[in-house]
Amino acid sequence: MRFLLMLVFGISFGQVFAQCKTFILMSNGDTLNCIDVNDKKRGKWKLHVNPLRGNPGYDEEGEFRDNKKEGVWRKYSSMGDLLAIQNYKWGNLDGTSQYFTIAGLDREENWHAMNPEKAFDTLQVEDINDENKYVQVIVPNDGKSMKHGKWTWYRTGSENIIKTEVYFLNKLKEPKDDKKDIPATIPAEPVKKVPPKEVADFDKKNSGKKSVKTRDGRVGG
């Protein structure tokens, strides 16, 4: 059994060695910070950034695919506090990114990544006003992520919202003025009732005459 485990470990290690020019092998057998034979980062990575020009240093971890960040990345302070959870596609921010302080969630951003292999991209993007509706747009590709969706800022230490902004492919959508969406109403003039022609002719013919009393056939009184 021990020989079998050593054999399996040897095969796995050999595969990693064949795929990676350099890497870090963790005590649990995980491979980190692999640079492949094409000098591209791949697989799980942990990065450390030193303080620079007054900006604090940080650590981040996630996955590389063909030398580009892919999927979920987490960023931590030098003290180990969570600073950010970011989503990447093609090495660009994509989807929702969250940023934190020691007190909790600070803000949320939404991004749309562009395919770097295309000069122009035809996109089926979710309508920010209707999650069940998609619209098709053609946009030039500058290789960067585009702001798309709701951005929200929170009051420190609570879930109370300070402000929100909504973007559609990098364009800030102005808040709607509800009053402009309500059609103007004009008070209706009172409708003048017009009597039927026969009644009008009768009233005209008998105008000025005294009313004639009639009897209903009852006896007495």
Under a CB-based contact definition with an 8 Å cutoff, are residues 13 and 21 in contact? Answer: no
HEC secondary structure over 161-178: EEEEEEEECCEEECCCCH
Please report the pLDDT score of residue 59 as a whole number: 97
Q: Rounded distance, CA 48 to CA 59, Å?
A: 4
Closest to 150 in 3D by CA, of 132, 172, 134, 135: 172
Instruction: Indicate if the pLDDT at residue 15 is higher than 80.
Output: no
Closest to 169 in 3D by CA, of 137, 198, 195: 137
Please report the pLDDT score of residue 206 as a whole number: 56
Please report the pLDDT score of residue 46 as a whole number: 96
Instruction: Indicate if the pLDDT at residue 170 is higher than 70.
Output: yes
Instruction: Find the angle CA(179)-CA(184)-CA(189) to the nearest 5 degrees.
Output: 150
* 26-69 residue pLDDT tens: 888 889 999 999 999 999 999 999 999 989 999 999 999 999 99
Alpha carbon 166 to chain centroid, angstroms: 8
Instruction: Indicate if the pLDDT at residue 144 is higher than 90.
Output: no
Q: Identify the residue with better confidence: 129 or 162.
A: 162
Q: Rounded distance, CA 174 to CA 167, Å?
A: 9
Q: What is the CB-side half-sphere exposure of residue 32 using CA atoms within 13 A?
A: 13
* 115-124 residue pLDDT tens: 888 888 777 7
Task: Name the DSSP class of 200.
Answer: H
Please report the pLDDT score of residue 193 as a whole number: 45
* 68-107 residue pLDDT tens: 999 999 999 999 999 999 999 999 999 999 999 999 999 9
